[in-house]
Structure 1
Amino acid sequence: MNELFLSPVQLSIKVSFISLLFVFVVGTLLAKFMLEKNFKGKVIVETMFMLPLVLPPTVIGFLLIIIFGNSSPVGKWIQLIFNHPIMFTWWAAVIASSIVALPLMYQSAKTGFSEVDRGIKEAARVDGAGEWTIFFLITIPLAYKSLITGAILSFARALGEFGATLMFAGNIPGKTQTMSTAIYMSIESGNMNLAWALVGTMIVISFIMLLLVSFFK
């Protein structure tokens, strides 16, 4: 019981933290780029960023298999470099979780950056500050509440990812089984004690995440 409970909990937290590191960096930089640049098709590109929020997880899982599957060019390249396919590994869970969490980080960062007073940034430019200096020393500090909110929501979303992870990473106990997939299998096998323990853990963590978000409004 202890191993059946601890293994998916530990893996879920590890996957969520690594996913958070990725989406925080990528989502923040994408938000900066999209706010500063105007180009044809910008609305279409932004819509594509937000698609994982509304697409069924099975669709995302299917697309990940097509892109990273063993027969795809990307999948073959990964297998050639690492001598191992990425499907049915915990890294596949990281990719799936990152894809579904990225829109939350992107939207939060974009909202925060858009609320930064342009006058402050213009004054910094007049004083000779470069764009990256302004970004790191002015924009990010002034938008930190939105960034923290986005990070918390992204972590919570990654933690609860199920469908895409099940399809792309599988449900291998001790290897790719996260809390969400473990709950599913516990119910299927009739192990309700384990299911309740995992469900309770998810509820507590999610409640804490949402409580933290309220502190940064």
Structure 2
Amino acid sequence: MFSLTPAEIEALLLSLRISGVAVLFALPFAILVATALALGRFPGRFILDAVVHLPLILPPVVMGYLLLIGFGTRAPLGAWLHQTFDIRFVFSWTGAALASAIVSFPFQVRAIRLSLENVNPGLYQAAETLGAGPIDRFFSLTLPFALPGIIAGAITAFAASLGEFGAIITFVSNIPGETRTLPLAIYTAIQTPGGELAAARLAALSIGLAFAGLLLSEMVMRQIRKRATA
């Protein structure tokens, strides 16, 4: 039952590739946005907070549609990227990575923000009094304090990306070997006569990957807490 076919292995490897690229692409932006939300005080902060968390509320199909009208080859931005830099997101695995990055972005921001909000503000005031500039404070204080959130957020976002369906199928379709990730492979198996066994096999694999991601995130957080206490 758990012997994967070549097509299923292809879907698994593609999912891992897309999720990894999505997390790495979004991580620098997540650190900057989380830092701004946790430590910054500026007009429009609540609007930025709402926009960042919008993918958690909107149906994934809506996010896929917005990406399609924004980055499609006939859209102004999508056409410009394609003609100028030969970058095409629609119907490609890079588009799937972009969709996954946007949908899982709030998970990274929330985890990093929680880590930074637990920091004593007096530390930043003391560093500023000692002459540390914004860049010095960012690398000497912000990044070390944000590290638990960065790791936990990246793992959680990776696991969430593995399960993304609606935004991917709406934006880049269901193309074997190009955009057919694990969720889309499960959907294809369900729609195929006699594909119940394959769907069950892929569903069990997805559950195992999600569970492993959550366990890994918790283990990493515990190790970081132990080192911080020591």
Tell me the equivalent position of 1:198.
202
Tell me the equivalent position of 2:44.
41
Tell me the equivalent position of 2:177.
174
Q: How far did 1:41 drift?
A: 2.6
1:117 maps to amino acid: N
Tell me the equivalent position of 1:119.
122
Measure, in 2, the Cα distance between the counterparts of 1:143 and 1:176: 33
Q: TM-score, normalised by structure 1?
A: 0.93
Tell me the equivalent position of 2:143.
140
- Preserved contact between residue 27 and residue 106 of structure 1 (Cα < 8 Å): yes
Distance 1:149 1:9, change over 3 A: same
Tell me the equivalent position of 1:155.
158
Q: TM-score, normalised by structure 2?
A: 0.88
Gaps of at least 5 residues in structure 1 are none
List, as ranges, runs of 4+ consecutive aligned residues in structure 1 with deviation greater than 3 Å: 82-85
Q: How far did 1:170 drift?
A: 1.0
- Preserved contact between residue 39 and residue 117 of structure 2 (Cα < 8 Å): no
* Alignment coverage as a number of residue pairs: 217
Measure, in 2, the Cα distance between the counterparts of 1:108 and 1:138: 17
Distance 1:45 1:206, change over 3 A: same
Deviation string for 1:92-130 (max 9, x for gaps)? 101110111001111111111111122222222222222
Q: How far did 1:84 drift?
A: 5.8
Measure, in 1, the Cα distance between the counterparts of 2:145 and 2:78: 41
Distance 1:101 1:119, change over 3 A: same
Deviation string for 1:51-97 (max 9, x for gaps)? 10011011111111111112111111121024463210001101110
Tell me the equivalent position of 2:28.
25
Indicate the SS of the match to 1:143.
helix
Give the % identical residues. 35
2:136 maps to amino acid: T
Equivalent residue in structure 2 for 1:64, among 45, 63, 67: 67
Greater mean deviation of Cα atoms: 47-56 or 137-146 = 137-146
Tell me the equivalent position of 2:216.
212
Measure, in 1, the Cα distance between the counterparts of 2:197 and 2:7: 11
Measure, in 1, the Cα distance between the counterparts of 2:191 and 2:132: 59
1:77 maps to amino acid: W
Tell me the equivalent position of 2:225.
none
Measure, in 2, the Cα distance between the counterparts of 1:38 and 1:134: 16
Measure, in 2, the Cα distance between the counterparts of 1:111 and 1:2: 42
Q: How far did 1:138 drift?
A: 1.8
- Preserved contact between residue 5 and residue 197 of structure 1 (Cα < 8 Å): no
Measure, in 2, the Cα distance between the counterparts of 1:145 and 1:88: 35
Measure, in 2, the Cα distance between the counterparts of 1:117 and 1:45: 24
Equivalent residue in structure 1 for 2:168, among 159, 165, 168: 165
Distance 1:124 1:83, change over 3 A: closer
Indicate the SS of the match to 2:185.
helix
Measure, in 2, the Cα distance between the counterparts of 1:131 and 1:39: 16
Measure, in 2, the Cα distance between the counterparts of 1:37 and 1:189: 52
Deviation string for 1:162-210 (max 9, x for gaps)? 0010011111111111001000001110312321221121111100111
Distance 1:115 1:78, change over 3 A: same
What is the root-mean-square deviation in Å for CA atoms of aligned residues? 1.6
